[in-house]
Amino acid sequence: MAATGVRLLRWKQLPADVMRNVRTVITAAEEAKQKLADGTPIATVINALTAPAVATARDAAVTYRGPC
């Protein structure tokens, strides 16, 4: 999702809400990567990635993108 999101962000014609959702997911993925590198327990990182705000943003972005 994060890699797809980066490609989507390069496409300047995305609706503002989609851009916001993709940025939310990318930010969460970047933070998760850093937390793992810092030794944060995996369960804590997963909880952050599945938080309601991130899950909602991810679901909305996937709905916009369509099935893979």
Q: Rg of the chain's alpha carbons, rounded to an integer?
A: 12
* Residue-level pLDDT at 55: 95
Task: Please give the Cα distance from 53 to 25 (Å, whole number).
Answer: 9
User: What does the pLDDT look like over 14-67, one tens digit per residue?
Assistant: 788 988 998 999 999 999 999 999 999 999 999 999 999 999 999 998 888 776
Task: Please give the Cα distance from 43 to 8 (Å, whole number).
Answer: 29
**0.85 exceeded by pTM:** no
Query: N- to C-terminal Cα distance for the chain?
Result: 10
Going 57 to 60 to 63 to 66, the CA torsion angle's sign is negative
Q: Give the domain ranges of the chain.
A: 2-6+15-65
* Residue-level pLDDT at 18: 87
Task: Please give the Cα distance from 27 to 52 (Å, whole number).
Answer: 14
